[in-house]
Structure 1
Amino acid sequence: MSRPQEDERPDWVPDWYPEPPGDNGENIEQLNVRVARPLYVSPNANRMVKRKLRGVHLFMITVNGTLGTGLYWRGGQILELAGPLAALLSFFLVGLLSWAVMQCITEMLCIWPIPGALSVYVSEFVDFELGIAVGIAYWFTYSLSFGAGIATLAAEVDFWTGANGDKAIDGVVIYLMIPLILVVINCAGVEMYGLLELVFGTAKILCLAIVLVMLIVINLGAGKQGYLGFKYWDSLKQFDNKAADNWGIAFLMCMSIATFAYVGVEIVAASALESAPDPRWARRRSEDRTGSDLSQRSHDTIVGNTVKLTAKYISLFATIAYSLSGLLVSLDIPWNHCQLPRLSWIKSAVGECVSSSNTASAFVAIASESMIPHLADVFNAFLIFACVTCASTNLYVASRTLFGLTSRLDGGKGQRWHLRILAWFGRTNSRKIPLRAMVFSSLAFVWVPFLQLRGGVTSTTPIGRFIEILAQMGSGAVVIVWACEVLAFIRYYHCISHHRSAIQQQGLSQVRRFCKDDYNDYPYRSPLQPFLAYIALAGCLFILIVANGAFLWRRFHLFPFLSSYLFVLVFIGVWIVLKLVRDARWSFVDLSKPDKVVQKLRKLHDIRLAAT
């Protein structure tokens, strides 16, 4: 496909790519400015990845990115803050929210498993600049999480090496060698990487199963504690009165904390660009349809079935794992135990119970209390493994997100300097790996762990608190992304409902949700729509505004304010700057005209086709 001329815009160019001033009906000659018209490139070999990941690979990649430190750390912090009931309810309710969000994402993802999917959906159905901001936010979250995960790893190694650890071990082994190893793993071909993620994910699930079984065994009488049952559930209104005035406020804080644990359930949208068509599904289709039907369906139209299983059920899997873990932890250790992690910005009174342990994990604390030989060491090793594999997956997601944002930009002559730089990241190497995007994503925040060499790994020091603020900003960023994706689905749903006759008349495949004829190829209808989407949007806004704000209701603390709202302010600022720079309209994408909607849907189909 040749490069388009300056006075024409090919059908396959999506709406969410940069447009020059004048595309909204203005005359460029009347602007009295010299503008370089954007150049759009056709898909070619060095801008494409291999589609080799099967459904099981996608599921394990998402497991590795979701079941990390949030599982092993946050449960104990929630238990200390609001007692055993909160340890169960907060994980369960936030899990339901993540399920509702994923139902919306899944429906669109099964139709368009494309590079930069989360950004594209928002750009096409909500607002172009907002879509760019969503892509930046998503990349930031996982690139930062890679560096923060390495910093967290050092804190867990300190369980063996002592408080603040050995700086030589931390600096050389943890902060330098492990990131290099993870970069090498991510440099492997997608086939090898998928196999490694399958092995790591299986091992992680096995480790979690062992931990849960041992927690049950401890509760039934192993170790020194004897039979406990629901002994520690004697009161449902227990809470840390130094952090909140009542249990309700403490519970809202717990919901905010629990959100951190579910960051990652949407990873399947980032890895969908490398998913392969399910051969079993293709064979079933070939048996059920005539040759003429099949001639209209290429492999790109059935890739969505590979991602469907993971997208539908990963949030349910995470909800069960987190809720069960929260319940078992609350049965095995009292809510006010000294070794449970506390909010770092709450000052303890003189002589008050202060943990002497080098762990922030309730699982390790329970194992230590049980007096079962070496069980605490085993649990801590599991936690370190979870942290390392999660960091590796975070790097993968960050690189694919950056690649998806830049893979169809042209950095040719006449382009602005920032577009040329971005286009440079949208290329793959000879093995179809977005190496440039991956290296940049690894280097962007690799400096974060090295700060601990000077300030220590504990969150009581200024540097330690700075690192913790960075780590917790990721949860707020992902909730923003969730809210934007749900809004995109709501507008998409009403769009195809309003223009169903035009879509039916044009015979557009895979978007006829309301079609009632025999040939209905809509890949997935999520339940209870659009009501579920409205509930999910309200839930995301509730977390961002109410639950995150509960930390400030008693008195203003700089630490929780920065953790909860700094990225929100940055995100809004980026969106405003993009609007001003592009001189864009302050309105949502117009979805009222059927011809424009049909053209938009065709372009999304073309993006999907080009990616294969």
Structure 2
Amino acid sequence: MITINGTLGTGLYWRGGQILELGGPLAVLLSFLFVGALAWAVMQCITEMLCIWPIPGALSVYVSEFVDVELGIAVGIAYWFTYSVSFAALIATAAAEFDFWPAFFVNKGIDGGIVYLCIPLVLVLINAFGIKVYGMIEVVSGTIKILFLATIMVCLIAINLGAGPSHKPSMGAHYWASPTTSYDTAAAKNWATALIMSLSISTFAYVGVEIVAASALEAKWPRHRHEGRTDSGVSGRSNDTLIGNSVKFSAIFISVLATIAYSLSGVLVSLDIDRSDCQLPRLSWVSGQMECIGESSNTTSAFVAIAHESGIPNLDDVFNAFLVFTALTCANTNLYVASRALFGLTSRLDGGSGQPWLLRVLAWFGKTNRRKVPMRAMVFSAVAFCWVPFLQLRGGTGTDTSIGIFIEILAEMGSVGVLVVWACECVAFIRYYHCIDRHRTTLQEQKISQVRRWDMNDYNDYPYRSHGQPFLAYMALTGCIFIIVVANGAALWEDFHYLPFLSSYLILLVFIALWVLLKVVRGAQWSFVDLSNPRKVVEKLRNLHDIRLGAL
């Protein structure tokens, strides 16, 4: 449910309408399907390693151990930054949705203090609870979000069938007759370009499918009822195999369920609202006026716009309340993930008195309180970008101001940062796969548990074999690189715009610069970790097993 809360966020309710305006109904369907398939492929790679090593800072550790130490550190920092800045961006998004009710902001100072100060404090308080209480809150809020989504989809179907006094059924269906001829000509030269740009936009909706890697550490693992017996029928399948069974459902199927939800809701939206409707959000950097139908409103969600045009009393208010709840619960989960990412990055640092001051400071964040909550990491993650939403008190919540553009760039950087992490995890799995395949004889002789992927006997303890490997991992890596380099740059093919350039490439440039800086400061070699020596590989795998046992 933690993963569901992080995945079913604002991307579903905001990005679908933006893609519909940009590329039409077919672009909505294809972009959600393609990126959903990519997310599933990436999670296949992550899940296989996660079932073996559910450890603190897992995504960073996998890259450090199988690719490059400094790259792994950079991945951990990028992952923390993504969710820390997204926490602040979601608070700003929720505040923007409050603008739907003009009477809400009677006094900007008082009401702004409630939204920008009190709400984050409440989310920090929720995250301060132990994992049992926090987990139950996530279960309740996640269940409510699923019910919200089901309710919205039922309403969209009813509206399409003619429900409501002023709504015309299937008002957007005519675009499906020629789906490749309808697109925003001011943003893209042709429909194919609009589709490629849509892939970049839809990526935002899938950020969070990998959250299970952050939450798996705190799961309560089931105990084998025969634990402690030594006969061969039980010892071959250890309690570790049950860990794999617990992890893999969330890690694999949430991306599938999200793809189905996004694709279906996107199709329903395309049937219920005209692509030229003035209420649909448009790319903020596109210049020139667009001919649109109807009147614009103070909503950026196609769902709320459809509810408003249906004429059903107060349905748009209900939908907007759903969206505010979604943004805030997603912000709550993002704070959780950011805190665990920072904790995982610093928990194994030596902060002794003889260490450099910077190392001692970082190690300070790798501690938990008596409730096993990394409070220091959590509070720092909350306050690191807490100033961002307050900028809206001066610059407003729209993207037509410099402050609005700045907040949008920060929000967009989050999805690019996760794509970079995904790509690095694919590289880590590829190198892990070839490593254990190359040294299979040694691993067999040394009896290293849970890494004998090729051993298919009845008592094999390998938790999970992902499908079609390593071909699937190579395809997933190619897909990540395509979106990072090609799809994110499609907006610049006709003309240079600084907003999409900064949104797409700033974090990538900073990530590369950070990697290089770490190499220079640490005096490290400019090469990947050596996985050719059997003895070193055995030692590495045993160390990872020790980390896992220590974490559990």
Asked if Structure 1 and Structure 2 have the same fold, meaning a TM-score greater than 0.5 normalized by the shorter chain, the answer is yes
Equivalent AA in structure 1 for residue 61 of structure 2: V
Say whether residues 1:243 and 2:183 are aligned partners: no
Partner Cα separation in structure 1 for residue 483 and residue 251 of structure 2 = 22
Contact 1:130/1:575 (CA < 8 Å) preserved in 2? yes
Equivalent AA in structure 2 for residue 225 of structure 1: H
Q: Deviations over 1:134-162 (max 9, x none)?
A: 00000000000000000000110100127
Q: How does 1:292-331 map to 2 (within 5 A)?
A: 302-331=242-271
User: Counterpart in 2 of 1:517?
Assistant: 457
Q: How does 1:560-571 map to 2 (within 5 A)?
A: 560-571=500-511
User: Counterpart in 2 of 1:233?
Assistant: 176
Say whether residues 1:549 and 2:493 are aligned partners: no
Among candidates 110, 122, 126, match of residue 67 of structure 2: 126
SS in structure 1 of the partner of residue 209 of structure 2: coil
SS in structure 2 of the partner of residue 445 of structure 1: coil
Say whether residues 1:270 and 2:214 are aligned partners: yes
Q: Deviations over 1:155-191 (max 9, x none)?
A: 1010012798852354211100000000000001110
Among candidates 108, 119, 130, match of residue 189 of structure 1: 130
User: Counterpart in 1 of 2:38?
Assistant: 97
Contact 1:164/1:456 (CA < 8 Å) preserved in 2? no
Shift, 1:93, TM fit: 0.6
Say whether residues 1:136 and 2:77 are aligned partners: yes
Structure 1 segments of 4 or more deviating over 6 A? 162-165, 295-298, 350-354
Contact 1:253/1:550 (CA < 8 Å) preserved in 2? yes
Partner Cα separation in structure 2 for residue 132 and residue 413 of structure 1 = 23
SS in structure 2 of the partner of residue 472 of structure 1: helix
Change (3 A) 1:166 1:294: farther
Q: How does 1:409-420 map to 2 (within 5 A)?
A: 409-420=349-360
Shift, 1:418, TM fit: 1.1
Contact 2:304/2:316 (CA < 8 Å) preserved in 1? yes
Partner Cα separation in structure 1 for residue 527 and residue 106 of structure 2 = 53
Shift, 1:346, TM fit: 1.2
User: Counterpart in 2 of 1:222?
Assistant: 163
Shift, 1:354, TM fit: 8.6
Equivalent AA in structure 1 for residue 12 of structure 2: L
User: Counterpart in 1 of 2:97?
Assistant: 156
Partner Cα separation in structure 2 for residue 561 and residue 445 of structure 1 = 22
- 509-518 or 335-344, which deviates more: 509-518
Shift, 1:227, TM fit: 3.2
User: Counterpart in 2 of 1:425?
Assistant: 365
Equivalent AA in structure 1 for residue 335 of structure 2: L
Contact 1:86/1:251 (CA < 8 Å) preserved in 2? yes
Equivalent AA in structure 2 for residue 233 of structure 1: W
- 408-417 or 181-190, which deviates more: 408-417
Q: Deviations over 1:350-398 (max 9, x none)?
A: 9876953111000000000100111101100100010000000000000
Equivalent AA in structure 2 for residue 361 of structure 1: S
Contact 1:504/1:515 (CA < 8 Å) preserved in 2? no
Partner Cα separation in structure 1 for residue 227 and residue 52 of structure 2 = 19
Partner Cα separation in structure 2 for residue 164 and residue 131 of structure 1 = 45
Partner Cα separation in structure 2 for residue 409 and residue 171 of structure 1 = 39
Change (3 A) 1:94 1:531: same
Equivalent AA in structure 2 for residue 236 of structure 1: P
Partner Cα separation in structure 2 for residue 89 and residue 169 of structure 1 = 44
User: Counterpart in 1 of 2:26?
Assistant: 85
Say whether residues 1:397 and 2:349 are aligned partners: no
Equivalent AA in structure 1 for residue 393 of structure 2: L
- Unaligned runs of at least 5 residues, structure 1: 1-59
Contact 2:47/2:248 (CA < 8 Å) preserved in 1? yes
Equivalent AA in structure 1 for residue 167 of structure 2: Q
Partner Cα separation in structure 1 for residue 81 and residue 290 of structure 2 = 40
% identity of equivalent residues: 68
Contact 1:211/1:379 (CA < 8 Å) preserved in 2? yes
Say whether residues 1:534 and 2:474 are aligned partners: yes
Shift, 1:290, TM fit: 4.7
Shift, 1:221, TM fit: 1.1
Partner Cα separation in structure 1 for residue 243 and residue 255 of structure 2 = 21
Shift, 1:234, TM fit: 2.8
Partner Cα separation in structure 1 for residue 479 and residue 264 of structure 2 = 22
Equivalent AA in structure 2 for residue 421 of structure 1: V
Shift, 1:601, TM fit: 0.5
Say whether residues 1:374 and 2:314 are aligned partners: yes
SS in structure 2 of the partner of residue 383 of structure 1: helix
Contact 1:100/1:532 (CA < 8 Å) preserved in 2? yes
Shift, 1:226, TM fit: 3.9
Equivalent AA in structure 1 for residue 470 of structure 2: P
Equivalent AA in structure 2 for residue 275 of structure 1: A
- In the superposition, the TM-score normalised over structure 1's length comes to 0.87
Partner Cα separation in structure 1 for residue 335 and residue 27 of structure 2 = 32
Q: Deviations over 1:219-240 (max 9, x none)?
A: 0111123432833423212100
Contact 1:112/1:304 (CA < 8 Å) preserved in 2? no
User: Counterpart in 2 of 1:477?
Assistant: 417
User: Counterpart in 2 of 1:114?
Assistant: 55
Shift, 1:309, TM fit: 1.0
Aligned residues: 549
Change (3 A) 1:351 1:325: closer
Q: Deviations over 1:256-283 (max 9, x none)?
A: 000011000000001111112124xx23
Contact 1:218/1:370 (CA < 8 Å) preserved in 2? yes
Contact 2:98/2:104 (CA < 8 Å) preserved in 1? no
Contact 2:277/2:294 (CA < 8 Å) preserved in 1? no
Among candidates 276, 281, 290, match of residue 341 of structure 1: 281
Partner Cα separation in structure 2 for residue 429 and residue 286 of structure 1 = 31
Partner Cα separation in structure 2 for residue 286 and residue 351 of structure 1 = 69
SS in structure 1 of the partner of residue 62 of structure 2: helix
SS in structure 1 of the partner of residue 432 of structure 2: helix
- Unaligned runs of at least 5 residues, structure 2: none
Partner Cα separation in structure 1 for residue 105 and residue 500 of structure 2 = 24
Contact 2:277/2:292 (CA < 8 Å) preserved in 1? no
- In the superposition, the TM-score normalised over structure 2's length comes to 0.96
Partner Cα separation in structure 2 for residue 555 and residue 149 of structure 1 = 30
Change (3 A) 1:559 1:103: same
Partner Cα separation in structure 1 for residue 103 and residue 197 of structure 2 = 30
Contact 1:265/1:315 (CA < 8 Å) preserved in 2? yes
Change (3 A) 1:260 1:498: same
Partner Cα separation in structure 2 for residue 150 and residue 355 of structure 1 = 27
